[in-house]
Amino acid sequence: MSRIETLQRLSDSPVIAVIRMNDTSKLMNVIEALSDGGVKFIEITFTTPNAADIIKDISKKVPSDSIVGAGTVLDPETARIAILAGAKFVVGPVLNLETIRLVHRYDIMMLPGAFTPTEILTAWEYGADVVKVFPATELGPNFFKDIRGPLPQIRMLPTGGVSVDNAGEFIKNGAFAIAAGTDLLDKVAIANNKFEIIAEKAKKIIANVKAAKK
């Protein structure tokens, strides 16, 4: 799958589930619940122990329409490890220009992190497919409307502080897609094997985002 094809898929299904799990024994249950609810993009962060091995393993097991990527990628070396393990997109919390170049060399979608208008524009000018705005907790949905005024061409994705209930507000204010972790991946539900709660949350966030895009 080319990075353009992945980008189109993200446009069609604009929610990325950010997964940070030290105990990965229930990971496939979580991914299947997310897929049942309509969330197709799965980001495995490199803060997760053995992240590359996990990406390699689950890439063979996920539902056919799910897309596995790597998150918290800080440098080109880690990006290459992730891509060789099977990651179809790469997300960074910060802006590293060499990482963008490396990821695009493999025709993989890259979402570098940025916070200020200058960083956001720099990331875009160096080829970011989507700019991850992080931490969005500090900025809120209105920030995206403000940035879209002078920079309407930039595709942005908020991470940090995005919930099932406020995801639509980010989209209404100009975000291309959103990424959610804590609120979407209910730790209590996972601990109690109530994966249907994850599926319901996934359905709700997809519905909220798609309604906001109309």
pTM for the model stands at: 0.96
CA distance 159 to 45: 13
The answer to whether residues 110 and 103 touch, using CB atoms and an 8 Å cutoff, is yes
Q: Are 189 and 198 in contact (CB under 8 A)?
A: yes
DSSP 22-50: S--TTHHHHHHHHHHTT--EEEEETTSTT
CATH of the domain at 208: 3.20.20.70
Which residue among 40, 88, 132, 201 is the active-site one? 132
Q: Is 43 a catalytic residue?
A: yes
- Residue in 40, 43, 88, 201 annotated catalytic: 43
Q: Give the count of domains, the chain.
A: 1
Q: The domain containing residue 40 runs over which residues?
A: 3-213
196 is catalytic: no
pLDDT digits (tens, 9 = 90+) for 9-67: 999 999 999 998 877 889 999 999 999 999 999 999 999 989 999 999 999 999 999 99
